[in-house]
Amino acid sequence: MIIIAIDGPAAAGKGTLAKRLAKTLKLPYLDTGLLYRATAKRVLESGGDPTDPLAATAAAWELSETDTARKDLRDASTSMAASQVASIPAVREALLAYQRSYGSANGAILDGRDIGTVIFPQADVKLFVTASVEARAKRRQLELDGKGQHLTLAEVIADVAARDEADRTRATAPLIPAEDAILIDTTNLNADEAFAHALAIVKEKA
Ligand code: C5P
């Protein structure tokens, strides 16, 4: 049984990398950002405030797979609200057991912000995937373009930078590499190169 933790800032390419590794290694994959996004969406749709601990915590406990399977969780307002609910300790606590149990049965790859530091501190392999804010924003802009959401690069940079700042400076489970995480900077790597690099690390470590 192997646990691979992939953490890093917004739009660093964690998801693409994690999915490819999961397919190659035949492991289940959990995108933990979806849990926070779906929690935020529940709050927004009920007319609540994502910074309200009571509303956000109730939404996190009520979460079901229907919520996380929604296709509309990646727009800018849900992203920012996800970062807001994610700074509430009781929300993180509500989502903890599910993430741990996901990996405990047959091993798994999980990506997020605190997988290597909080969810699976004993993970077999910890990767911290990062890239310059410009590179990350360009990729996110392309992804959004493909979904018919046309934002300027300046708008996407502002969104990504604001989320990074909120995720890095929050008191609970801030975005920070685990001491034993291996850094992968994808600023000058394409998806194939990042994948080859990560696979080599996994093979060496696991
Ligand atoms: O990874 P993604 O960008 O989809 O995550 C959305 C937000 O959820 C992040 O900005 C972060 O605030 C929060 N998150 C978190 N811990 C995780 C995964 C995501 O705090 N493990």
Q: Domain boundaries in the chain?
A: 3-205
User: Best of 6, 32, 44 to mutate for ligand 1, by most ligand atoms within 8 A of CB?
Assistant: 32
Tell me, what's the pLDDT at 180? Answer: 97
What would the two tokens of residue 110 be? Answer: 């999980």
Query: What's this model's pTM, rounded to 2 decimal places?
Result: 0.95
For the chain, helix (H) and strand (E) counts, in that order, are 9, 5
50 is an annotated ligand-binding site residue: no
The ipTM assigned to this model is: 0.99
Tens digit of pLDDT for each residue in 138-184? 999 998 899 888 999 999 999 999 999 999 999 999 999 999 999 99
**92 neighbors 112 (Cβ within 8 angstroms):** no
Q: Distance between CA atoms of 41 and 62, rounded to whole angstroms?
A: 12
CA of 82 to the centre of ligand 1 (A): 7
9 is an annotated ligand-binding site residue: yes
User: Best of 6, 7, 14, 36 to mutate for ligand 1, by most ligand atoms within 8 A of CB?
Assistant: 36
SS3 labels along 68-121: HCCCCCCCHHHHHHHHHHHCCHHHHHHHHHHHHHHHHCCCEEEEECCHHHHHCC
User: Best of 34, 71, 113 to mutate for ligand 1, by most ligand atoms within 8 A of CB?
Assistant: 113
DSSP state of 1: -
48 is an annotated ligand-binding site residue: no
Whose CA is closest to 139, among 129, 126, 124, 125? 129
Q: Give per-residue burial for 141-156: e unless 16+ CB within 10 Å, then b.
A: beebeeeeeebeeeeb
Inter-helix orientation angle 89-104/33-45, to 10°: 140
CA of 36 to the centre of ligand 1 (A): 6
What is the helix (H) or strand (E) element at residue 49, kind and residue range? none
Tell me, what's the pLDDT at 20? Answer: 98
According to CATH, the topology of domain 3-205 is: Rossmann fold (3.40.50)
Q: Distance between CA atoms of 42 and 25, rounded to whole angstroms?
A: 33
15 is an annotated ligand-binding site residue: yes
Place 48 in a pLDDT band, splitting at 50, 70 and 90. very high
Q: Whose CA is nearest to atom 10 of ligand 1?
A: 83
Share of the chain above pLDDT 90, in %: 89
CA of 160 to the centre of ligand 1 (A): 11
Q: Whose CA is nearest to atom 9 of ligand 1?
A: 83
End-to-end CA distance of the chain: 10
- Check pocket membership of 92 for ligand 1, CB cut-off 6 A: no
Query: What's the number of CA atoms in the CB half-sphere (13 Å) around residue 70?
Result: 21
- Check pocket membership of 33 for ligand 1, CB cut-off 6 A: yes
Tens digit of pLDDT for each residue in 101-115? 998 888 999 999 999
